[in-house]
Each structure stands twice: as structure tokens, then as C-alpha cells.
């Protein structure tokens, strides 16, 4: 194991240089530390090939904690009012983080039962005082999941692409049409591999693009909002 780790470190230094390798190791150490502080185990990468056979689904990799810091610093959570949904919740890092805020309810959706089980275990182990204990983890295909009419914050760390994402976007639009409400969508995607999949949707408005710290070279974080009246195909200004 030690030799393998040394070989990987040597290869990374050769490919990326000493400074970039040191920054990578510092980031990994920070991620492990934040997991420890939260009381969870969400680190690591699992190839999509081990999670199913749908090419539109993405490898499991947890969102960077600094990205979560930025996203949640932007939000103003209404105590007992807002409902948080994470598409592709994986091992539950974003759910555990969200539980430290006063959401009324938190929902995680993932198609892989093993990841859902890991998320449930992590949420049982969260250390800080929990401000939201009403947490549901749904093992389901996101295309089949019916978005509840009270969801007001949607978090998506590039959980899927292509037709799956388009189908989920339509589910979101239909939910907003049935139950018009202000809803914030936080979407992170790798801009070196794909474009903003929410750009140009007439039922939401792009509010801002937030910095992603050490991930800025590969990941973009954008915030969209809808408002009462959204979901009918007409552009609605954020309020």
C-alpha cells in the first residue's frame, strides 16, 4: 500500500509539479479534517462503472467543503420554512452539512442503494448540534422522483448529464408549475468538460456565479432562482 501511494504521489508530482501536488495534498487533508469535524466519512472517489451502467451518470466524488461554505453563505435559510433537496446525494456530505442549518426538511435522492445506506449511516453520526432532524433519503432514479411542492433549495453537484438531466429539469419545471414558489437552484459543473446545462431555461433566472476556491480551474458554481409564476415557460425575474 505504501509503495502504491508513493508511486501515485511521484506520478502526480511529475505530471503537475511540486506546487500543484502540495496544494492537492493540502486540499485532501482539509477534506478529511472537515469530515472528522462533522463526524462523517464521505471522502473518496467511486467510478461510475461500479455504480451502474448508465453512461449519463457520474463518478461518485463528494463536493468540496469550501464549495459548500460558499454556497451556504449565499443562502438565507428561513428557519422552519425552507426545504432542501440534493440530487445525487451520494454518501450524504451535502445533506449532513445542510442539517446544521434550520431547514424544515432535507431530502436526498440517489439511484445507488449502497450510497444511500452510507448516507443514512453518516447522518446518524453527525457530531454538531443538528438544526434539522427531518431528513429523508430516497433510493430512486431521479427521473422517477416526484419533486415535492415545498422544495425551495435544490443542490446539484453534477450528478448526471444528458437526457437524465433534461428529464430532471422538466420534473423541476413541472413542480414549479403545479406549486409556484421561489426556489433556488445551486448547480456545480465541470466547465472544462461541459457547459451550464441550466443556461437559457425560461422558467429560471441566473442570479450569480460564485467562486469555488481551489476548484475554480475546473468547477463553476452558478445560482438560479425561480419565483411564483415560474414553471409555465415564461421568464420570471428573481425576487
For helices 18-38 and 65-74, angle between their N-to-C axes, nearest 10 degrees: 60
Spatial separation of the C-alpha atoms in residues 74 and 140, rounded to whole Å: 29
Cβ proximity of 137 and 108 under 8 Å: yes
Sites in the chain below the pLDDT cut of 50: 1-3, 5, 9, 12, 18, 20-21, 234-239
| pLDDT value at residue 18 | 47
| pLDDT value at residue 21 | 46
The total number of residues shown for the chain amounts to 239
| pLDDT value at residue 4 | 57
| pLDDT value at residue 56 | 59
Q: Domain segments of the chain: what residues?
A: 2-38, 65-226
Nearest to 77 by CA among 167, 186, 179: 186
Nearest to 187 by CA among 175, 202, 177, 199: 199
**β-strand 183-190 against 135-139: which pairing, if any?**
unpaired
CATH of 65-226, one of 3.30.56.10, 3.40.1800.10, 3.40.630.10, 3.40.50.150: 3.40.50.150
Q: What is the DSSP string of the chain?
A: -HHHHHHHHHHHHHHH-HHHHHHHHHHHHHHHHHHHHHT----S-B-GGGT-S-TTB--B-PPPHHHHHHHHHH----TTT-EEEEET-TTSHHHHHHTTS--SEEEEEES-HHHHHHHHHHHHH--SPPS---EEEEES-TTTPPPPTT--EEEEES-B-HHHHHHHHHHHHHHHHHS---EEEEEEEETTT---TTTT-TTSEEEEEE--GGGTTTEEEEEEEE-TTTTSSS-----
| pLDDT value at residue 191 | 81
Nearest to 179 by CA among 169, 171, 168, 167: 171
pLDDT tens digits for range 126-165: 987 789 999 999 999 999 999 999 999 999 999 988 999 9
Whole-angstrom CA distances from 12 to 9, 20, 21 are 5, 9, 6
Amino acid at each position: 500500500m505504501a509503495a502504491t501511494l508513493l508511486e501515485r504521489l511521484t506520478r502526480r508530482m511529475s505530471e503537475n509539479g511540486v506546487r500543484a501536488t502540495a496544494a492537492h495534498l493540502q486540499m485532501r487533508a482539509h477534506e478529511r479534517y472537515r469530515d472528522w469535524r462533522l463526524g462523517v466519512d464521505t471522502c473518496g472517489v467511486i467510478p461510475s462503472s461500479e455504480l451502474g451502467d448508465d453512461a449519463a451518470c457520474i463518478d461518485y466524488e463528494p463536493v468540496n467543503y469550501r464549495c459548500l461554505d460558499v454556497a451556504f453563505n449565499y443562502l438565507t435559510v428561513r428557519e422552519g420554512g425552507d426545504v432542501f433537496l440534493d440530487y445525487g446525494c451520494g454518501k450524504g456530505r451535502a445533506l449532513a452539512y445542510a442539517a446544521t442549518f434550520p431547514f424544515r426538511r432535507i431530502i436526498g435522492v440517489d439511484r445507488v442503494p449502497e450510497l444511500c445506506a452510507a448516507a443514512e449511516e453518516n447522518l446518524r453520526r453527525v457530531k454538531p448540534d443538528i438544526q434539522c432532524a427531518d431528513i429523508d433519503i430516497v433510493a430512486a432514479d431521479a427521473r422517477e422522483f416526484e419533486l415535492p411542492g415545498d422544495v425551495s433549495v435544490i443542490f446539484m453537484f453534477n450528478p448526471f448529464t444528458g437526457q437524465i438531466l433534461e428529464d430532471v429539469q422538466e420534473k423541476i419545471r413541472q413542480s414549479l408549475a403545479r406549486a409556484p414558489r421561489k426556489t433556488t437552484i445551486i448547480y456545480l459543473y465541470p466547465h472544462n468538460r461541459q457547459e451550464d446545462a441550466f443556461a437559457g431555461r425560461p422558467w429560471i433566472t441566473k442570479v450569480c456565479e460564485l467562486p469555488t476556491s481551489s476548484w475554480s480551474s475546473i468547477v463553476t458554481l452558478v445560482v438560479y432562482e425561480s419565483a411564483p409564476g415560474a414553471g409555465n415557460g415564461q421568464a420570471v425575474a428573481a425576487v
